């Protein structure tokens, strides 16, 4: 069996969704939505649901990959809400543009250590707004002024009478909200040089491995599906493949490229995108009592997450909808990319975010998710793809190369009087989110992160 999706079909499908998502109003994440009726509790906004059993569900702004974000971000909401933390349940964000990260132009991505600074104020506002909804509901129910009400952890108190009511009881009268069967496993053999096409394939030995169900050609490799992890990886190892020559990556030389980057960084006459400027550097440099120059390069680097990438996909029988379960840093982009390869709309794709065994930017990528999507579509069954550690190392989306050239001048008293910092590197933002990169006019803050501006 073979699946054929042209690169253009994928890019056009995914990018069309991206353009729509990123055009949305970024202020939406701090707004209170109109309270909507659900069976179990009150949802004053997209981040908070107060349940009738007195528990409070808070959607974490960030996926958890060991950095504590699924505690830190909900605490921001809970503090403003005046919630009893012992009654709080934290859940990952669903794939929906309304949960987009302001630090990434509204894209639903968690990376580059910018979660707290991006979400802090919107989440404070969400917690405060939810608290105000509770106060307004009690004021209307008891026919008292809001000014006479205050809160204690998960309780509203009427100061004049001493009357008290829990958040869960408010939710009742406010009448406002609140392993997949038949799963098989999949693994994908990718070419040793990215972009290489299959020349010859002998899969007889693979099909003879107990537990192997099928061998499926994908646009970027050969998929093996079976009844268990051991079977699929034994089957993958048994594939006999030759790959065609001519892939663009065959001529790639990282040593040569980093040398070119370093030369550009040190060529001061070579103009670049100016991100920040104060005063006259040339004048300060010429007047400095002492000057220093230094060059630095950063090579490709493996992300080395504790948990290799994996995903579970269940594509509908007609191939127009899909549910995903994945430890992902970019559920919104997963949704759009999946819609792109299935030639459907993003609303037909649901992403369930699982806990991450480390992310570090690796799980922003779509490769492991789309492995599962296309294998599920081909087999008509839910497919769980789990990369081996060897596959994870060989096929990682390595950290881009970068070169930096710094100049510093000191005055007679040893104070810093001149500073220039030139950075040359490949933009991850341009590759992952072209519409955002274009809208920011080439200002890739991921690439320049760590270059602090006083």
How crowded is residue 266: how many other Cβ atoms within 10 Å of its Cβ?
16
pLDDT, residue 97, reads: 80
Contact 28, 126 (CB under 8 A): no
pLDDT of 226 above 90: yes
Listing DSSP states for 283-306 in one string gives HHHHH-SEEEEEEEEE-------S
pLDDT, residue 179, reads: 67
pLDDT of 14 above 70: no
pLDDT, residue 38, reads: 42
Which of residues 428 and 162 earns the better pLDDT score? 162
Mean pLDDT across 308-335? 95
- Report helix, strand or coil for 454: coil
pLDDT of 292 above 70: yes
C-alpha 265/C-alpha 405 separation (Å) is 6
Q: Indicate the domain borders of the chain.
A: 31-174, 252-301+398-448
- Tokens, residue 307: 């948990």
- Tokens, residue 123: 């989440």
Q: Which own/partner pairs from 153-162 qualify as long-range (CB within 8 Å, at least 24 positions apart)?
A: 153/82, 153/83, 153/84, 153/85, 154/54, 154/56, 154/82, 154/83, 154/84, 154/87
Which of residues 449 and 403 earns the better pLDDT score? 403
Which of residues 133 and 266 earns the better pLDDT score? 266
Please, which pLDDT band fits residue 103 given cuts at 50, 70 and 90? Answer: confident
Pairing of strands 56-59, 88-91: parallel
pLDDT of 29 above 50: no
Mean pLDDT across 251-261? 97
pLDDT of 401 above 70: yes
Contact 84, 36 (CB under 8 A): no
Q: Which own/partner pairs from 67-76 qualify as long-range (CB within 8 Å, at least 24 positions apart)?
A: 69/110, 69/115, 69/116, 72/116, 73/115, 73/116, 73/119, 73/123, 76/119, 76/120, 76/123, 76/124, 76/127
pLDDT of 425 above 70: yes
pLDDT, residue 452, reads: 60
pLDDT of 7 above 90: no
C-alpha 426/C-alpha 439 separation (Å) is 17
Looking at every residue in the chain, the average pLDDT score rounds to 88
C-alpha 173/C-alpha 393 separation (Å) is 55
pLDDT, residue 35, reads: 39
pLDDT, residue 255, reads: 96
Strand partners, 212: 226
pLDDT, residue 354, reads: 86
**Nearest alpha carbon to residue 360 among 119, 167, 158, 109:** 109
What is the Cα 359 distance to its own chain's centre?
A: 9
Which of residues 43 and 240 earns the better pLDDT score? 240
Give the least confident one: 28-37, 50-59, 185-194, 328-337: 28-37
Nearest 5 degrees, angle CA 126-CA 127-CA 128?
95
Strands (E) across 327-431 are located at 349-353, 383-386, 402-410, 416-425
* Non-local CB neighbours of 171 within 8 Å, separated by 6+ positions: 40, 41, 42, 50, 51, 52, 178
- CATH number for the domain formed by residue range(s) 31-174: 3.30.365.10
Mean pLDDT across 383-410? 95
Which of residues 432 and 343 earns the better pLDDT score? 343
Question: Backbone phi, then psi, for 182, in 5-degree steps?
Answer: 65, 15
pLDDT of 131 above 80: yes
What's the pLDDT tens digit per position in 268-288?
A: 999 999 988 999 999 999 999
C-alpha 250/C-alpha 196 separation (Å) is 9
Q: CA quadruple 127, 133, 134, 136: dihedral positive or negative?
A: positive
- Tokens, residue 152: 């204690």
**Nearest alpha carbon to residue 218 among 396, 373, 13, 16:** 373
pLDDT, residue 114, reads: 84
Residue 2 gets which letter from DSSP? Answer: B
**Nearest alpha carbon to residue 56 among 142, 131, 6, 159:** 131
- Tokens, residue 148: 């006479």
Listing DSSP states for 378-399 in one string gives HHTS-EEEE--HHHHHHT--PP
Mean pLDDT across 146-157? 96
Residue bearing tokens 């302001």:
102
- Tokens, residue 401: 């190369």
Percent of residues, the chain, with pLDDT higher than 90: 68
Contact 420, 288 (CB under 8 A): no
Q: Is the pTM of this model over 0.85?
A: no
pLDDT of 253 above 60: yes
Please, which pLDDT band fits residue 3 given cuts at 50, 70 and 90? Answer: low
């Amino acid at each position: 069996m073979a699946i054929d999706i042209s690169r253009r079909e994928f890019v056009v499908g995914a990018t069309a969704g991206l353009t729509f998502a990123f055009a949305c109003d970024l202020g939406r994440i701090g707004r209170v939505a109109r309270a909507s009726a659900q069976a179990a509790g009150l949802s004053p906004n997209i981040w908070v649901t107060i349940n009738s059993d007195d528990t409070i569900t808070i959607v974490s702004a960030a996926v958890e990959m060991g950095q504590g974000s699924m505690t830190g971000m909900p605490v921001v909401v809970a503090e403003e809400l005046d919630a009893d933390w012992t009654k709080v349940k934290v859940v990952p964000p669903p794939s929906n543009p309304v949960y987009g990260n302001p630090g990434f132009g509204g894209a639903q991505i968690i990376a580059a250590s910018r979660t707290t600074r991006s979400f802090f104020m919107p989440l404070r506002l969400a917690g405060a707004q939810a608290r105000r909804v509770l106060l307004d509901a009690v004021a209307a129910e008891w026919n008292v002024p809001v000014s006479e009400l205050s809160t204690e952890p998960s309780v509203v108190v009427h100061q004049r009478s001493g009357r008290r009511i829990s958040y869960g009881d408010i939710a009742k009268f406010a009448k406002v909200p609140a392993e997949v069967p038949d799963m098989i496993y999949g693994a994908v053999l990718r070419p040793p040089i990215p972009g290489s096409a299959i020349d010859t394939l002998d899969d007889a030995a693979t099909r003879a491995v107990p537990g192997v169900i099928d061998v499926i050609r994908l646009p970027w490799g050969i998929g093996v599906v079976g009844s268990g992890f051991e079977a699929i990886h034994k089957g993958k190892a048994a594939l006999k493949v030759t790959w065609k020559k001519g892939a663009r990556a065959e001529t790639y030389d990282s040593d040569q490229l980093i040398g070119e980057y370093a030369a550009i960084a040190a060529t001061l006459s070579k103009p670049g995108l100016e991100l920040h400027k104060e005063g006259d550097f040339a004048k300060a440099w010429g007047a400095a009592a002492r000057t220093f120059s230094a060059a630095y390069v950063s090579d490709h680097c493996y992300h080395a997450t504790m948990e290799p990438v994996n995903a579970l996909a269940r594509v509908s029988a007609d191939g127009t909808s899909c549910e995903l379960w994945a430890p992902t840093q970019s559920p919104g982009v997963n949704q759009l990319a999946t819609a792109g390869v299935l030639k459907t709309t993003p609303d037909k794709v649901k992403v369930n975010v699982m806990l991450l065994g480390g992310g570090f930017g690796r799980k922003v990528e779509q490769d492991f998710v789309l492995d599962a999507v296309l294998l599920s579509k081909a087999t008509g069954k839910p497919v769980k793809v789990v990369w081996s550690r060897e596959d994870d190392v060989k096929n990682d989306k390595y950290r881009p190369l970068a070169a930096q050239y710094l100049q510093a001048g000191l005055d007679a008293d040893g104070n810093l009087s001149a500073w220039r910092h030139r950075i040359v590197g490949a933009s991850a933002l341009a590759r992952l989110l072209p519409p955002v990169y274009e809208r920011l006019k080439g200002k890739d803050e991921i690439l320049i992160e760590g270059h602090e501006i006083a």
